[in-house]
Structure formats: structure tokens, C-alpha cells
Amino acid sequence: MISLSIFRNIYAYMRSLYWGFRSLLESSLVVVPYLFGWGEHRKEVTEQYPDPVSSRTEDDLPVKSRGMLFNDVDACTGCGDCSAVCPANCIRIEVQDQPATGKKWVAVYDIDYGRCILCGLCVEVCEPASLKHTKRYEGAHYQREHLFSQFGRGWVSKEQREKWERMRPMEEVE
């Protein structure tokens, strides 16, 4: 009995060695066609960047490619869903009430690309669809401060707002 189990152990050991060798051999042979570029799918898939810049233009990028964000502030309601859902906490949005129109005035809308991970969650939750991905993907800067994208309209004082209120009927008449 004892001698049998010894042989069984040796057999199992040799078998595992054989399988290790065989799997290594198989994986080694998988890459050989890539080495010589045999077949259409085994050519280089990477592209030259940044020098020379790839022949692809922004229009050649995939439909769902997620580049830098753009917020159409005229359509933006200032609801703040994008800021709430952002996992990187990179959107800063501050709004002022606009009693006359009932809409919110988006005073500050800053996106910090130093934090943004371009996950696209903010675009998905945006109800008026004002926030969109562009196809622009080059965003390197020398200064940290330049990493901000600002779409806000700026703060408005009470006097300025009253002035606008007075101008509105005149515009409607014209």
C-alpha cells in the first residue's frame, strides 16, 4: 500500500511538471504570430503620439469617447445633480435665485481637471442635457490653476439685477 502511494505521488508530481511545461509552451507559441505580424489582427494596434501626432482627427474618435466636459450654461438649470454625483468631487457649482424668471442663475460652474476622472456620471444625470463630453482630449497645462474649466456667468449684484428687470419690458416691446 505504502509503495503504491509513493508511486502515485511521484506520478502526480511529474504530471504537474508536465502541465506546467505544456502551458508555458502553449502561451509562448501564442505570441509568435504577433512577432512577425502575421494576419490582419496581429499588426501593431498602438499609434504614434505625440510626435508625430496620429493621423486621426477628433471626428475619427469613437462616438462615446469621453473628452473634456462642456456645459452650455444657457440650458443649465443649476440643479447641482452633476456636482452631487461626482465621485471625484471636481465640480463646484454656485447659483443665485432669479425671482423674475423662476430659473436659477449659475454664477459659478468650475470643473477641476486636476481631480476629474472623466467617468461621465455627471453627463448621465444632467436632465437638461446641458453638460456634454467634447472630443477634446489634450488638456495639459504648466500651472495648476489653468486646469480649471469655468462656465459660470459670474455673481450679479442686486442693483444690476434690478437694472435688468427694468430693461426686460423694453426688450419685449422691441
Site for another protein in 50-79 (CB under 8 A): 51
Q: Which of 8, 9, 12, 17 binds another protein (CB under 8 A)?
A: 17
2 binds another protein (CB under 8 A): no
Stretch in the footprint of another protein (CB under 8 A) among 46-54, 64-72, 85-93, 118-126? 46-54
| Min separation Cβ 143 and another protein, Å | 23
Helix, strand, or coil (residue 164):
helix
Nearer Cβ to another protein (47/124): 47
Give the C-alpha separation, 66 to 62, whole Å: 9
Task: Count interface residues toward another protein (CB under 8 A).
Answer: 18
Give the C-alpha separation, 1 to 25, whole Å: 36
Concatenate the DSSP letters of all residues of 19-83 into one string: HHHHHHHHHHHHTHHHHHT-SGGGS------SSSPPS--GGGS-TT---SEEE-TTT-----HHH
27 binds another protein (CB under 8 A): yes
Binding site for another protein (CB under 8 A): 17, 24, 27-28, 30-31, 34-37, 42-48, 51
